[in-house]
Amino acid sequence: MNKHLLLLFIMVFVLGCSPKHSQKDHSMYWQKNAAEYHALCIQAYNLAKMKVDQALTRTSEKPLAIIADIDETVLGNCPYNEMLIEKNTTFTQETWAAWVHKKMAEPIPGALEFYNYADSLNIEIIYLSNRRVENYEPTKSNLISAGFPFDDNTVMLLREEDGNKAARRKQLSNYNIVLLLGDNLADFDERFYKQPNDIRIDGLNDTRALFGEKFILFPNLIYGSWAVSYTHLRAHET
Average pLDDT over residues 86-103: 95
Q: Are 226 and 193 in contact (CB under 8 A)?
A: no
pLDDT at residue number 73: 98
> Using N-to-C axis directions, what is the helix angle for 136-146 and 93-102, rounded to 10°?
40
Q: Which residues pair with 83 in a beta bridge?
A: none
Cα 135 to the chain's mean position, in Å?
17
pLDDT tens by residue, 130-142: 999 999 999 999 9
% of the chain exceeding 90 in pLDDT: 77
Phi-psi region of 196 (alpha: psi -120 to 50; beta: other; left: phi over 0): beta
> Distance (Å, rounded) from C-alpha 161 to C-alpha 191?
19
Among 177, 123, 114, which residue's Cα sits nearest to residue 147?
114
% of the chain exceeding 70 in pLDDT: 86
User: Which residue has better confidence, 4 or 66?
Assistant: 66
Phi/psi of residue 216, nearest 5 degrees: -120, 115
**Residue 25 — pLDDT band, cuts 50, 70, 90?**
confident
pLDDT at residue number 28: 87
Asked whether residue 233 carries a pLDDT value surpassing 70, the answer given is: no
DSSP state of 61: S
pTM (predicted TM-score): 0.86
**Residue 24 — pLDDT band, cuts 50, 70, 90?**
low
Q: Look over the chain and give the mean of its residue pLDDT values, rounded to a whole number.
A: 89
Cα 61 to the chain's mean position, in Å?
31
**Residue 71 — pLDDT band, cuts 50, 70, 90?**
very high
Average pLDDT over residues 95-123: 98
pLDDT at residue number 20: 44
User: What residues does each domain of the chain span?
Assistant: 44-227
pLDDT at residue number 46: 98
Average pLDDT over residues 41-70: 98
Phi-psi region of 124 (alpha: psi -120 to 50; beta: other; left: phi over 0): beta
Among 36, 237, 204, which residue's Cα sits nearest to residue 129?
237
Q: Any idea how long the chain is? A: 238
**Residue 9 — pLDDT band, cuts 50, 70, 90?**
very low
> Distance (Å, rounded) from C-alpha 198 to C-alpha 89?
28
**Residue 3 — pLDDT band, cuts 50, 70, 90?**
low
pLDDT tens by residue, 179-229: 999 999 999 999 999 898 889 999 999 999 999 999 999 999 999 988 875
The CATH number assigned to the domain with range 44-227 reads: 3.40.50.1000
